[in-house]
Structure 1
Amino acid sequence: MDKKKLRQYRSLKREQKMLEDKMEKLNERAERIPAVIGKVKGSMDTFPYIETHMRIIMDEPKQADMIDRQMRVNERRREQVDKLLTEIEEFISQIPDSNTRQIFELIYLNGNTQQEVGDQLGYSKGRISQIVSENLKD
């Protein structure tokens, strides 16, 4: 794990919320798509298989397709964001030392500065920086 990926955590959380809101709005739009009547060709189930025309009621195709595409794109992005968030959280949870784990949670998950974390845990800012560097690859 590197610092760049860890620093994304809070932005990823905001993006996750934003994507959830977008999906909710798309679902609401999908419910409001007007219905249209269409005609389809078919044949009878039995011989002599006479061609028939049936009228069906369906969602307006262009709007439905557009909303469906947007939902798929947002869902793929949400899966990527969830995967990155899980990766970061798993990394931090696997740190064996409790103090080090708390430092990482406070800095990268909660957004505290190294100075604030040092004051809270009784370390200097420099020592916090050393602990973080010891546990990360650049």
Structure 2
Amino acid sequence: MTKKRLKRMRSLISEARHLQEMLDRPAKTTEYVGDTAKDYRTGKPHSITITGYGQQDYPELKERYYQKLRQIQQEIAFLEGFLDQVEDPQTRDILRLYYVNGLTQEQIADELGYARETISRKIRDFWQNSHK
């Protein structure tokens, strides 16, 4: 397990939430449409193009979103399992607040009632001693 992989967790959670929102939206039914219209300021015609996903393309797009969402959910589950295996509950709590919730070390210190240096030391010791 690397720090880099765990640091991605917040982004993965955000991406999963965004993908789920996209999947929950109703299907797009518009096709590519083009037309011309006169500009009321100049009186000259100009082109207007409206684009969107056609009905035949939407199921493929939706399936790609589902696949990506499943992949992200598997990675999140793996990382949560990794955090669950941290033996020291204090360190586990600090790591969750830092990597999953995205709190700063100062915010974690305020929430848990420790000095910021203690939070920093716990995170550093975790990576140095057991999980390089």
**TM-score, normalization: structure 1?**
0.65
2:103 to 92, 98, 112: 112
Aligned 8 A contact 2:83 2:92 in 1:
yes
Alignment match, 1:133: 124
| Aligned match for 1:73, one of 42, 64, 88 | 64
Displacement of 1:104:
0.9
Q: CA deviation at 1:96?
A: 1.1
State the partner residue of 1:10.
10
Counterpart position of 1:44: none
1:120–1:23 CA distance, 2 compared to 1 (3 A): closer
- The superposition leaves residues 66-100 of structure 1 with CA deviations (integer Å, 9 ceiling, x where unpaired) of 11210121111101110111112111111111111
What amino acid does structure 2 have at the position aligned with 1:82?
Q
Residue 85 of structure 2 corresponds to residue 98 of structure 1: no
Instruction: Tell me the C-alpha RMSD between the 2 structures.
Output: 2.3
Counterpart residue number, 1:19: 19
Letter aligned with residue 121 of structure 1: L
Runs of 4+ in 1 over 4 A off after TM superposition: none
Amino acid at match of 1:103: I
Q: Distance in 2 between matches of 1:94 and 1:65?
A: 45
1:29 aligns with 2:27: yes
2:112 is aligned to: 121
In structure 1, the gaps of 5 or more residues are 34-61
| 8 Å contact from structure 2 (residues 27, 55) kept in 1 | no
Larger radius of gyration: 1
1:92-116, CA deviations, whole angstroms, 9 ceiling, x for partnerless residues? 1111111111111111122111122
Higher relative contact order (CA 8 A, sep 6+): 1
Q: How many residues align?
A: 107
Structure 2 gaps of 5+ residues are 31-52
- Give the TM-score normalised by the residue count of structure 2: 0.68
Equivalent of residue 83 in structure 1, options 63, 74, 80? 74
